[in-house]
Amino acid sequence: MKKTTENNIDLLKQEWDTWGKTDAFWAVLTDPSKKGNRWDESDFFATGKQHVDWIMENLKKAGVSINPQRALDFGCGVGRITRALTRHFKKTIGVDIAPSMIQKARELNAQFNCRFEVTPDPALAPIQSERFDFITSWIVFQHMNKELATEYLATLAQLLEKDGVLFVQVASHRYLPGIGLLAFLRKWVLRQMGPTIRMHGFPRAEVEAALRKAGLNIVAVQDDHSCGWSWKSYSYLAQKR
């Protein structure tokens, strides 16, 4: 199991570090019209603000209140969501497996009150002694197998303060069996253009079981469309008691 995890992490790090060096914005938000470094920086970061506003509205609707002290953005990329979280929390940290992504995040967000760390293992060693009131992760877990995702979810739960809130998105499965062939062809085309962006499913029942095993109470689960038309995806709102 340990060897499988290490291999998966090494592959993720290699692929996403390459994306961070070649087309970081597009790798985070794969709008076909923006490939080839065609994202406008202001437009890109504006999507982070919109997303965090949506998160806060969802928390309000669910009747969940958060201590506005410390937030963590897991799989932060170049800090799209991390930056937006600084409007709501006194201290915000973004972590990512790819050194090139973290380097860009630090450069692009130098004027904002946030910190970025490279975290090369599921223990999240650089921040394992810290605790957070809110942890979020979007379009991240879909790029790792469910064994590795389970390890990371357990670590994130451990990093939460009592009554801390976790709000994450996880892809579940492809909508139709035939989509697999289309996805394979898409991956093949993308591979000719650059490093692979791998997709993995983590079924809803298994995600819920992993969250409960990690000591979290599930507050709400809702359909999410972050993965586009080919994948079923859910967002999970959970709290540590």
Tell me the per-residue pLDDT of 57-90, one tens digit each, with 9 for 90 and over.
999 999 999 999 999 999 999 999 999 999 999 9
Question: Does the pLDDT value for residue 115 go beyond 80?
Answer: yes
Distance of alpha carbon 18 from alpha carbon 116, whole angstroms: 18
Residue 137 banded pLDDT, cuts 50, 70, 90:
very high
Question: Does the pLDDT value for residue 53 go beyond 50?
Answer: yes
User: How open is the CA angle 206-207-210, to the nearest 5 degrees?
Assistant: 85
Q: What radius of gyration do the chain's Cα atoms show?
A: 17
- What top-level class would CATH report for the domain 2-240? alpha beta
User: pLDDT higher for 229 or 144?
Assistant: 144
Question: Residue ranges of the domains in the chain?
Answer: 2-240
> Taking residues 31-59, what's their average pLDDT?
95
Output the pTM of the full model: 0.89
Type and span of the H or E element at 131: none
What pLDDT score was predicted for residue 106?
98
Give the range among 43-47, 87-91, 193-197 with minimum mean pLDDT. Answer: 193-197
Partnered with residue 169 across adjacent β-strands are: 235
Type and span of the H or E element at 124: none
Residue pair 93/112 in contact (Cβ under 8 Å)? The answer is no
What pLDDT score was predicted for residue 225?
77
Question: Does the pLDDT value for residue 183 go beyond 70?
Answer: no
What pLDDT score was predicted for residue 76?
98
What are the respective helix, strand and coil percentages of the chain, to the nearest 5? Answer: 45, 25, 30
